[in-house]
Amino acid sequence: MSEELVSLIESKLDRRRYQDQHWAGTFWEYLDICRENPGVVRNAYQRLYDAIMSYGCDRYRLFKKECIRYHFFSDPFDNGADGIFGLDFALMQLVDFLRSAAEGYGTDKRILLLHGPVGSSKSTIARLLKKGIEAYSRTTDGALYTFSWMLDEHCEASPEPDSPPSGQGKRARKTHEYPCPMHEEPLVLVPREARDEVMAKLNAAFKPKHHGGKLRVSGEPDPFCRRVLDNLMEFYEGDWRKVMGHVKVRRIVLSEKDRVGIGTFQPKDEKNQDSTELTGDINYRKIALYGSDSDPRAFNFDGELNIANRGVCEFIELLKLDVAFLYDLLGATQEHSIKPKKFAQTHIDEVILGHTNEPEYKRLQSNEMMEAFRDRTIKIDVPYNIRLDDEIRIYQKDFGADRIRNIHIAPHTLEVAAMWAVLTRLEEPKKAGLTVLQKLKLYNGKNIPGFTEDSVKELKEEAPREGMAGISPRYIQDKVSNALVGRQAIEDKCINPFMVLNELEGGLSHHSLISDENTKKRYRELLAVVKEEYEDIIKGEVQRAISADEDAIRRLCVNYIENVRASTQKEKVLNKYTGKYDEPDERLMRAIEEKIDIPESRKDDFRQEIMNYIGALALDGKKFEYNTNARLYRALELKLFEDQRDTIKLKNLVSSVVDDETQQKIDIVKQRLIKNFGYNETSAADVLNYVASIFARGDSKGR
């Protein structure tokens, strides 16, 4: 059994890929790699932008604007675990920022600040950028390299035992390996006098796939590598070629866990945290060995900005940092350099991003002392979703059938929760006669008579801050979780929309982020709007389940079309029972047309449209069926429901006595709900009982 498991494990491993990712060679071999593939020299912004673009994108139109959905943000590297839904405009701004930085247009000297309400995916975006560049560094296209020094056990350039004291044969020991502490690009070791010409040759061969930026290797080696380089140059009396013989170039894979190229900094207690966590600190154990605290060998270059070199450094809740930390970021962004204690300015190459919420950002704006920091910041708003379908997808990811197996989540349960969440984020429309629920439907792509794409664009433009306030997805997730572990859910093995809506409403009274009573009142009113909309949805489903007799709909459709043809052609209809020709059945036609709000004044136009539609299908060799035209199909369903409702006697469900014939018909309807709409036995019975109670109340909307 153990051998079988070992074989299974080994079958999933790729030894060749491991060897490629851990390649090591000489400096001269690396120059050959650069000549064949100059892209290995890209800077952090170019690499991150290419990582995003390597996964492709889709283009579509939303609110009359071209929109791009980047597949990178669907989390292809972790099976969608951190996938982001509905924030395409914000993500487009982010990618545009990175594109500009990759081109070298100046945004590479700015801090990227993600700003938005709590739970709007700011941290998820940062996590995706880190995961994405890590995954990209494992690919052939994303390969990058650094170097180590080969010296003696004291990190010195000491002569080998058989080496002459001077002259051409002089050689230094190479017994121990000392990695570059900041994972620097090996070409930083090329002297400045020759670097421009080397880069010109590489740029001549560089053909970037996604941008037009040039390759640039800036700055000097870090203090540790600079000292080693100087010692070796002195040992070899200025022979740079021999010095490079002590350089071992190796490929690296960026990794947050290994602290290679990806760093994360989180604010803590100011008394227990200082700026050395960003730029490194003295290693006091090594001072005795090297004799000075200003010797770079006695310094740990392991601050977050050090280890994030060549990659990404994330600052969690950036504006909660002490001012001393923010000062360090000024040079890190504008000059791409940091100042370790007792050492000169040290060059860094990394993407610096942070995230913050509204109150912290307002405090920054009001602080005149932080003007320099504000000037170096590019803010990208990350709002909540305002499109219903995208919000639903968030909750389906957490509460989908693949994750929740023991409890059935009734249809529309997640939909009504998402609907309420989105409604709380929308501003009341200024257009007369337009409700906030209709606005939600327009944003979600639904057609409403009297409103065009231009209308939707106007609605969006009149509320530029829409989505920056409202209920967080976390609150919805918490309340759905509460419903799933509630006593009723455990007993029934099922939760329905009303159980979740009750949890949502009950939690408002002690919601930690909502203190304004007027806001709570509005949110409760929106819950009532959602309940009413849900009632309309399930009434429609029950109507369709009752009228789902395809043969009956087909017969009704044939009857209607025959009468419409006769009406438009000014002919009569053959009565199959009497054998005589009668006038078209105006009462039948109007009973169907009224179901889809065709007014008396437009009945002739609608009937002619239907006949023209049938004629166009015939010209294409297609046959008209009862469900070919969606609008007419809905009208036929509603008419059939009206005809059959009394025969099923749905109102009797709320009484204790139901005759066998009615029960049989109700069972058929229940099975249709299960088969066609995703209910189970419990939720189907609940919906039928609830809709029956609506009819029993004489609800005019339910008739």
Q: What angle do CA 166, 172, 175 make, to 5 degrees?
A: 160
pLDDT at residue number 655: 52
Give the highest mean pLDDT range of 53-67, 167-181, 215-229, 627-641: 215-229
Higher-confidence position of 16 and 439 = 439
pLDDT at residue number 308: 97
Task: For residues 678-693, give the mean pLDDT.
Answer: 88
Confidence bin at 647 (pLDDT 50/70/90) = low
**Distance, CA of 523 to CA of 505 (rounded, Å):** 8
Q: Which of 470-474, 516-520, 649-653 has the lowest mean pLDDT?
A: 649-653
Confidence bin at 250 (pLDDT 50/70/90) = very high
Task: Provide the 3-class DSSP secondary structure of residue 439.
Answer: helix
Mean per-residue pLDDT of the chain: 88
What residues does each domain of the chain span?
388-523, 547-637
pLDDT at residue number 688: 87
pLDDT at 260 over 80: yes
Task: For residues 88-96, give the mean pLDDT.
Answer: 96
Confirm if 149 and 228 have CB atoms less than 8 A apart: yes
Instruction: Name residues whose C-beta falls within 8 Å of residue 436's C-beta, 6 or more positions apart in sequence.
Output: 423, 426, 428, 429, 526, 529
The beta-strand segments (E) located in 330-452 are 337-338, 346-347, 351-356, 377-381, 408-409
pLDDT at residue number 477: 95
Confidence bin at 454 (pLDDT 50/70/90) = confident
pLDDT at 700 over 50: no
Confirm if 131 and 165 have CB atoms less than 8 A apart: no
Task: Provide the 3-class DSSP secondary structure of residue 544.
Answer: helix
pLDDT at 654 over 70: no
Task: For residues 3-16, give the mean pLDDT.
Answer: 79
Confirm if 257 and 230 have CB atoms less than 8 A apart: no
Higher-confidence position of 556 and 96 = 96
Task: Provide the 3-class DSSP secondary structure of residue 356.
Answer: strand
pLDDT in tens, 101-157: 999 999 999 999 999 999 999 999 999 999 999 999 999 999 999 999 999 999 999
pLDDT at residue number 703: 37
Task: For residues 44-54, give the mean pLDDT.
Answer: 96
Confirm if 483 and 508 have CB atoms less than 8 A apart: no
pLDDT at residue number 658: 60
pLDDT in tens, 387-402: 999 999 999 998 987 7
Residue 641: Cβ within 10 Å count: 20
Residue 359: Cβ within 10 Å count: 9
pLDDT at residue number 701: 43
Confidence bin at 626 (pLDDT 50/70/90) = confident
Query: Rounded to an integer, what is the distance from CA 109 to the centroid of its chain?
Result: 26
**Distance, CA of 302 to CA of 312 (rounded, Å):** 15
pLDDT at 498 over 50: yes
